[in-house]
Chain A
Amino acid sequence: MTIVNEASAGTAESGDARVTVRPNAGGGIALELRGPSVARYGDEIRAVALSTLEALGVADAAVTVDEKGALDATIRARLAAAAGRAAGAGDMPWEAMS
């Protein structure tokens, strides 16, 4: 999946995360994390974000995750949705996303 646009998914509500994905051609993955869980669980959230991007085949992207007590599953889902929108992707590789 190649990121060609900027796109977002998610809300600022409790339990959710607002994720924005932007192109970052040749720059690899740049990840910015914000939110109440980041101080204590930042490493976990980072790992979750990176593995999601890897499963989608995204090599270059600038990603912002602004979470409000979102669990890993929510972060994965919001990131995948934002990436899909930013790549203009149609069908998803569900089998790769485990």
Chain B
Amino acid sequence: MRLRRSMLYVPGNAPAMLRDAHIYGPDSVMFDLEDSVSPREKDAARHLVFRALKDYDYAGVERVVRVNGLDTPYGLEDIQAVVAGGVDAVRLPKTDCPEDLLAVERAVEAAERRFGRPSGSVKLIAAIESARGILSAREIAACSPRLVAIAIGAEDFVTDLHTTRSPEGVELLAARSLLVMAARAAGIMAIDTVFTGVDDEEGFLREARLAKQLGFDGKSVIHPSQVALIRFVYEPSPEEIAKARRVVEAAADAEAKGSGVVSLDGKMIDKPIVERALRVLALAGEASE
């Protein structure tokens, strides 16, 4: 079960950060070719990210690249470079409608053929950053078998709404919930937006706990210190872990006996409960098949 509790942003034009990002223990690293790279350096950043994907071993951390949109002069070549480099997932910014994503899917498919990668091996993540996009979240989330997660980009989104971000995030409440619902309906993950206050640990924890409570699977982070904080927020309590172990054992017992009914403490355990227990154990680092 691939976890995406933390997705660490790394500007694509920062060689030292590209080299080291995974040592801070995020579940995913996201090399950015889009907003953090100036137009003059797009080509150079593309080369840096290509080489990082090819040459560095990220110890099992998922490698995601945020490419430029296909409506820019850079997007198509970005996709060539990252697919050739071996990227795990391509993240598309500013996804407003399913067609935006499907166009990227076609480009990725062609690149897989060009570079001899198995068809479907490159996954997709869609960032939704506008009102139109949020209102189409349900369709976007369901439109491609390669799509593994949808994310919300709050800065652009609140600008689109003609408002600003507040600490409590009330302006984002509906969008966040809609995003999570769309993700669940499609059976994929939901990733929350970045928190820019690098020194504001309290504020970060507050927002991360809110995201977790809303059902988000994880959050994009911009600084290594936030990686440890996210893990802390998503860590199940010892009681939750103990309970989850018992549920999973009961399920394994039932399977061994060839019984379709799982019971624990005299109560029947439904499949969703078993799945939730498995998620708890995955979060606790006790991955099991």
Chain A interfacial positions (CB closer than 8 Å to B): 9-10, 13-16, 70-74, 76-78, 80-81, 84-85, 91-92, 94-95, 97-98
Contact = CB atoms under 8 A, between A and B. Distances in A.
Q: Is chain B's interface secondary structure helix, strand, loop, or mixed overall?
A: helix
A73 B77 CA distance: 19
A61 to B, nearest CB: 16
Contacts, number: 68
A95 B54 CA distance: 11
Contacts of A72: 55
Interface string B79-105: 011001100000000000000000000
B16 A91 contact: no
A71 B56 CA distance: 10
A10 B44 contact: yes
A80 B77 CA distance: 15
Contacts of B85: 94
Given A9-B44, A15-B16, A72-B55, 11 more contacts: A15-B15, A15-B19, A16-B15, A71-B15, A73-B19, A73-B56, A78-B44, A78-B48, A81-B43, A92-B47, A97-B84
A92 B56 contact: no
Given A81-B44, A84-B43, A73 B51 contact: yes
Nearest to B47: A77
Contacts of A80: 47, 51
Contact of B52 (A13, A73, A95): A73
A77 B50 contact: yes
A78 B47 contact: yes
B99 to A, nearest CB: 25
Contact of A16 (B16, B51, B54, B56): B16
